[in-house]
Amino acid sequence: MSFFRLKDLIRAVRVCKTATDERNVIRRESAAIRTSFKEVESQDARFVNVQKLLYIYLLGFPVQFGQLECLKLAASPRFSDKRVGYLGVTLLLDEKQDILTLLTNSLKNDMNNADDYIVGLALTTLSCVASSEVANDLADEVERLLDSPRSYLRKKAALAAVRIVRREPDLADAFVGRVGALINDRHHGVKMGGLILLEELCNYSQEALEAGRKLVSVLARQLRGLATSEPSPEHSVRGINDPFMQISLMRLMRVVARGSQEASDELNDVLTLVATLDDTASNVGTAILYECAVTALAIPSDQPLRVLAINLLGKFLANTDNNARYVALATLSAAVITEAPSVQRHRDTVLQCMRDDDISIRRRAVDLSFALINAENVKHIVNEILRVLPHIDLEFRSSMVYRLSAAITLYADSHEWHVERMLRVLSLGGSYLNARDLHKFIRLIAAQVDEGLQRRATRISFALLDRDISQDKMVIAGVWLIGEYADLLVARSQQQQAADSKAVAAAKSPGLDEDDLDILGALGRPIKESAPSEPNVPAALDLDQDLPEAIPEPADVVRLLSSISRSPVISSPARRMTLTALAKVAGRFADQPSVLSSVRTALAHHTHSMDQEVQARAVEFEKLLSNELDTVRAAVVERMPLPEYAEVPYEEYVLNPTAMRMKALTVIKRPAIQPEDLIGDGSAGGSKAATTAAAAEANKQSVVSDLLNLMDEAPAAAPSSPPPQPQQQSRMDSIADLLSSTTLSPIPASSQATSPVSESAIINNDDLGKEYSVFNEHGLKITLTPTKKPSAPQVIDLLAKFTNIGESAISDVAFLVAVPKSQKIQIHPPSGQHISVGANITQLLRVSNPSKSAIRLRMKISFTEDGQKHESMFDYSGFPASIV
């Protein structure tokens, strides 16, 4: 049966007791409506049926069969029919559907209607669903309605113009001449529409940007008046005067003042006023302060104002609202490039956020914490991150372990601290350490001339493995150290031997005094029979205490290695490494028959292993320990030489762990590396967005391969420099590893030092701020807009805009950029990877050009359009000579 009225359908749905009953009601009603559309041509029946379809749509059921009926209803002469018809069009249609072209004539007729409310319906519909074709056809009508005497129509026409400009940027210039009158309009809604329209126009039209800069004084005056005047009853919210207008004004200021020092100077005072008047007692005040802080950081404002903006964001971190803390962390991560000293003041609060209950806040806090690391605070921040590591989400651990390794390698002030911290990383998150960092750690210990550090590292490893073997890389590193330095592991110093003798004598005596008890306590805890701990649950370590050291007997060493080799929780590579360590221990203690016998027993257990490689090693090592090979055994099991390490070309690349996929890449080739380059974006280098080390390593290799092929021709000549020393080269290898998820590393301070250059050679207002088209294929248009700051004349900011001018959505956008050796480039993460039709995303590139050579870019873009993947590589060197 079919329900006669919408109220009847709603009542029938509400009385349903189960989801099945509801689906049956909707299914029967949908069939009845479909039949009515075919058999009944009554406009009244169509009106009721479309109303019911909209209700069914809100319940989540498919109603695409009613799209054409909505168009028919919109063409009706009655206002009530048009209202329901246009509402159905905005809900059931989008700009990708060809049927939308049938609506163009109805919209045009209604825009010329004498009834203002019908005109308003048409403008509202155009603002929601206008495609590129519809925008071209109706742009003249919208332009005419911007001059309407009715403020109601001017407001809606301004919003329709925003939609037209987004879909057809070439039509932007037609609306530039009218935004000034809209902004100065006395009607509140018209003024709001004018601000939004001008902000959109500035993104596409240089003429609009220049017009907006001429209105900076007007915007500042309006914002000052709103901030200082008494709240109006009509537009105030929680005692704050017209917060929506204030935010719209600051968003527009952020666009028009970017790259203009003159415009920024006019805004410094009013932004300072807004920042000091509002408070964070309510969400409204927080929103205004946030926009004020973001605006101050986005324009070349005065340094005191930028410090004030950072402090405002720091206050947000103590806010009880999770949204406020999230946006504060995100903005601080972006600001840490240029305002690192100011952000450092809030370091402790950021570290506390790593323990927040909200996973998104934890993610942002982790990334910002790594971005704050420098030589002065590395020990404190690394300790805090290590405390959080055992409790952090599994999806974060891979990236955290990778970046911890890089931070420790880059900023270690001594080999002792480096080794101790890496052992803590291995014990808490060794399963997530990649093979490259593990190899570098082992090589560091093997390269030590002093045996003291090798002895301590081996003893700590023995104690850690005796407690927990769930971390696979810890097992590999530990058994390698035990196998290589087993003689150092069990060796006791003269003081220790004397203490042992005294303890034994005291144990045989009838009584023990307090001094004897102290001596026995100094011997350390006895070696216990260890049982493998629960997999993937690292043993807790007290970071305020030194790592435990054990001085075992040879039999204890064999016992531990045998226990590890039989454990079901270790991987096959770790098991094979353990068998090798057993063979080496037998060679180190060849004069002790009991040790040889224990090793043979341990190896015999694996001679029938199902793992072919494990079985082969066990058989070979068992043969090696036979009596007939006594003469060659010592040479076979002697210490390995220093492991070779093949240096790879220095490459920096950025992955975004938040989206868990590649978002942006950059190649940086330079002869010298500064520690400041560590502050960076999301999961740099091998930030391994995947949760397993193997998948992450494969992803990393793929990225490096793309980068090596990106800039294959010889770049411009750069000043030569001597080859780096080994310690410096080790730091160079780890530069990219600390990049965190929000911003990429800043230009080193040394490269930002200004030299005596004429002002005309630094800034040319005629060339800066213009859009330069670099790519236009397969529905994707890429433009670059260069800007400069007088405070950093050697740095050029290139705002890349990716606009979807095709007929289908674009996804999986990945952008690679390379520059010659004489230049350096850094790249911020893009605002997104998915671009709807007519929409755009942006990405900031920052080029340091101390040699003042011509800007030459090699770019590689890959994206997916309508299920088809496109990939292109192209060069661009079309910037004017003044942009260097």
Give the Å distances, CA to CA, from 729 to 51, 580, 614, 649, 725.
Answer: 71, 31, 36, 11, 6
Segment 210-231 mean pLDDT: 88
Instruction: Report the CATH superfamily, name and number, of domain 664-754+761-876.
Output: Gamma-adaptin ear (GAE) domain (2.60.40.1230)
Amino acid, res. 189: G
Q: Which residues are registered as beta bridge partners of 818?
A: 858
Assigned token pair, 184:
């100065």
Segment 509-528 mean pLDDT: 38
- 824-866, pLDDT tens digit by residue? 888 888 888 889 888 889 998 988 888 888 888 999 999 998 8
| Distance, CA of 600 to CA of 178 (rounded, Å) | 91
DSSP code at position 282: S
| Distance, CA of 752 to CA of 747 (rounded, Å) | 7
What is the pLDDT, as a whole number, of residue 320? 84
Q: Are 263 and 299 in contact (CB under 8 A)?
A: yes
- 727-748, pLDDT tens digit by residue? 444 443 443 333 333 333 333 3
pTM of the model: 0.63
Ranges of CATH 2.60.40.1230 domains, the chain? 664-754+761-876
With cut-offs at 50, 70 and 90, classify the pLDDT of residue 252. very high
pLDDT at 503 over 70: no
Task: Please tell me the least confidently modeled range out of 64-73, 335-344, 401-410, 531-540.
Answer: 531-540
What number of CA atoms fall less than 13 Å from residue 187's CA on the CB side?
15
Class of domain 100-214: mainly alpha
pLDDT at 196 over 90: yes
DSSP code at position 4: S
| Distance, CA of 802 to CA of 809 (rounded, Å) | 12
What is the pLDDT, as a whole number, of residue 760? 35
C-alpha 519, offset from chain centre: 54
pLDDT at 474 over 60: yes
Segment 430-459 mean pLDDT: 87
Which letter, b or e, does each residue of 854-876 get, where b requires 16 or more Cβ atoms within 10 Å of its Cβ?
Answer: bbbbbbbbbbbbeeeeeeeeeeb
Q: How many residues does the chain have?
A: 884
Q: Are 354 and 392 in contact (CB under 8 A)?
A: yes
Assigned token pair, 452:
């003291």
| Distance, CA of 37 to CA of 53 (rounded, Å) | 12
Segment 187-199 mean pLDDT: 92
DSSP 789-846: ETTEEEEEEEEEEEEE-SSS-EEEEEEEEE--TTSEEEEPPPS-S-B-TT-EEEEEEE
| Distance, CA of 234 to CA of 621 (rounded, Å) | 88
What is the pLDDT, as a whole number, of residue 542? 61
pLDDT at 704 over 80: no
C-alpha 838, offset from chain centre: 25
| Distance, CA of 424 to CA of 675 (rounded, Å) | 23
What is the pLDDT, as a whole number, of residue 540? 52
DSSP 146-202: TT-S-HHHHHHHHHHHHHHHHH-GGGTHHHHHHHHHHHT-SSHHHHHHHHHHHHHHH
| Distance, CA of 475 to CA of 49 (rounded, Å) | 70
Assigned token pair, 38:
């075919």
pLDDT at 718 over 60: no
With cut-offs at 50, 70 and 90, classify the pLDDT of residue 308. very high
750 closest CA partner among 825, 821, 848: 848
- 594-609, pLDDT tens digit by residue? 888 888 898 998 888 8
DSSP 340-351: HHHHHTTHHHHH
With cut-offs at 50, 70 and 90, classify the pLDDT of residue 545. low
C-alpha 345, offset from chain centre: 23
Ranges of CATH 1.25.10.10 domains, the chain? 100-214
Residue with tokens 């939609």, as numbered in its chain:
163
| Distance, CA of 616 to CA of 603 (rounded, Å) | 11
- 142-184, pLDDT tens digit by residue? 999 999 999 999 999 999 999 999 988 888 888 988 888 899 8
Report the percent of the chain where pLDDT is more than 90.
26
Q: Are 430 and 471 in contact (CB under 8 A)?
A: yes
| Distance, CA of 688 to CA of 400 (rounded, Å) | 9
Backbone angles phi, psi at 181, to 5 degrees: -65, -35
What is the pLDDT, as a whole number, of residue 107? 92
Q: Highest mean pLDDT range out of 198-202, 444-448, 650-654, 831-835?
A: 198-202
pLDDT at 622 over 70: yes
pLDDT at 664 over 80: no
Which strands sit side by side in the sheet containing 772-777, from one edge to the other?
772-777, 780-789, 792-804, 840-848, 824-827
What is the pLDDT, as a whole number, of residue 194? 92
427 or 727: which carries more pLDDT confidence?
A: 427
Average pLDDT value over all residues in the chain? 78
Q: Are 882 and 764 in contact (CB under 8 A)?
A: yes
Coil, helix or strand for 314?
Answer: helix
Coil, helix or strand for 422?
Answer: helix
